[in-house]
Chains A and B, each alone.
Chain A
């Protein structure tokens, strides 16, 4: 549980770096696994399973561990207003929120830059905060 009395919110650039780290730690291995599986089995359907596993992993880490590896390395956690980890249902809602943030030309992500509590659209939808620990 994180103390939310005087929280230090994670801003746009540090979260951008965290996302970049995630693409290296999760994205690249997943891409390689996908390619190898499809190439050696000739079954494209297996690539969908990898994409789904990646989404499940991100949801699990966000909901139960407080964030994906990028955020954890940089000392940030995703929490609710009480300072608790958000759990699986809210992590799914946040993930769907990220789709919407992308859909509106990434404005949902840019919101982190000017919002007082550094919340992106996906954070506002799921009522979550990214705080430094």
Chain B
């Protein structure tokens, strides 16, 4: 049985020993953020979003003034308003619909956004997305490589060249995984569409069935391909071989893989709730804020959350790689 506790502790110890691994992870987060803000500024979206943020602030203040007014407490609508306000991030809350109505009432002009949808901005958007992807692949590859070297207790004098080599492999593997996962989805969607034209009810039923089938397939493939990345970097394998080896390795051990996947999901939720979401929302506030004091506070918070996110992401990668090593050791032990 995989020792989650040991892998978790080892992950911490290894991270404390090799703090440098956090640097490429930090860059993989920072570069896309910088590119996003550059795109907003250059495309002309920024002033419009700032205006929208300001309108949202006014709307929010109106709501809180209503909720804090003694006269309104106990009125018919009060509890509904309070629930909607407190749960404004949830889908069931009508907060966003109310905000849209508020904007309509103020005569907010949405057509200005359409004007920004021109050829120049589209091309710029594509270039920025590509740059983000390249930087993300590059820095992730570097981080994975550093983790693999740390686990194997090896040192490399040529990290840059190794990263370049692995980046292409890693990219190819991701493309391959994308094909493996999404081609069946596209086939199923096509079948569903065809059936829909033959008979509407049959079409709707088949689409439901295909969605369930696809989710099953997605979970199965996530388990089978779970170790492809660690295999690529730890065993220094090519994309196809990594995928193949991950398939072979997980055969008959899906329960063990499911436990590790479950832990990774837990860590990801932890990161998103306490670090990821706060980081992106604080970053956006920083971008749309006009008050200098608030900008300074938000900047400190962004830097803090950035450091924290790079720490926890590095830890998550370390945990995945160590679980792979543990899993491999167990499998070898089982064969004897």
A interface with B by C-beta (< 8 Å):
39, 41-46, 48-49, 51-52, 55, 89-90, 92-93, 95-97, 99-100, 103, 125-127
Contact = CB atoms under 8 A, between A and B. Distances in A.
Interface string B231-257: 000000000000000000000000000
Contacts of A92: 8
Interface string B41-77: 0000000000000000100010010001000000000
B265 interface: yes
Nearest to B278: A48
B269 A99 contact: yes
Interface string B291-325: 00010011001000100000000000000000000
Interface string B259-292: 0001101110110011101100110010000000
Interface of chain B, main secondary structure: helix
B270 to A, nearest CB: 5
A77 B8 CA distance: 22
B5 A125 contact: yes
Interface of chain A, main secondary structure: helix
Contacts, number: 68
Given A93-B8, A96-B266, A97-B266, 9 more contacts: A41-B294, A43-B298, A44-B285, A45-B278, A45-B298, A48-B305, A51-B274, A96-B267, A125-B263
A106 to B, nearest CB: 15
B12 A89 contact: yes
A90 B68 CA distance: 42
Contacts of B8: 89-90, 92-93
Interface residues of B, number: 29
Contact of B263 (A41, A90, A96): A96
Nearest to A39: B64
Interface string B1-12: 000110011001
A89 to B, nearest CB: 5
Contact of A100 (B265, B278, B294): B265
Contact of B270 (A44, A46, A96, A125): A96
26 contacts: A39-B64, A39-B68, A42-B61, A43-B294, A43-B298, A44-B285, A45-B285, A46-B297, A48-B281, A49-B278, A51-B273, A51-B274, A52-B278, A93-B4, A93-B5, A96-B266, A96-B267, A97-B266, A100-B263, A100-B265, A100-B266, A103-B265, A103-B269, A125-B263, A126-B5, A127-B5
